[in-house]
Amino acid sequence: MKWFKILQQGHIEVSGVTYNLAHLLASSFTLAIPASSRYPAAVATLQVEYTSHCVSFGPENEHTPLDFKVLDGDRRILDHREIARAFCFDRHR
């Protein structure tokens, strides 16, 4: 399944276990920068988005794709480049 769709549903299910991904939903922060003797005050909004790399691992190189017959097909995540990655239980923690 594509990463953006997984994020929209807020979780991934692997072998009957649901892993919450709500903490990886995009968020924004407003940063107030005070004036200095050289610059006026400014306000910036930062948009933070997370990629599948936070909770998955990819192939070692582009010529050797991951084997999902061995890894379990439920772990398959297509990243933003359409490269198949595998959900990583350790990275999710």
Residue 78's pLDDT is what? 96
CA–CA gap between residue 15 and residue 70 (Å, rounded): 13
Is 33 inside a domain boundary? no
Residue 62's pLDDT is what? 81
Residue 8's pLDDT is what? 93
Report how many domains make up the chain. Answer: 1
CA–CA gap between residue 18 and residue 92 (Å, rounded): 12
Statement: residue 83 has pLDDT above 90: yes
Is 31 inside a domain boundary? no
Is 36 inside a domain boundary? no
Q: How confident is the model at residue 61 (pLDDT cuts 50, 70, 90)?
A: confident
CA–CA gap between residue 19 and residue 63 (Å, rounded): 30
Spatial neighbors of 11 by CB under 8 A, at least 6 apart, are 18, 19, 20, 21, 22
Is 72 inside a domain boundary? yes
- Compute the average pLDDT of residues 56-65: 91
The whole domain housing 9 covers: 3-24+51-92
Is 43 inside a domain boundary? no
Is 41 inside a domain boundary? no
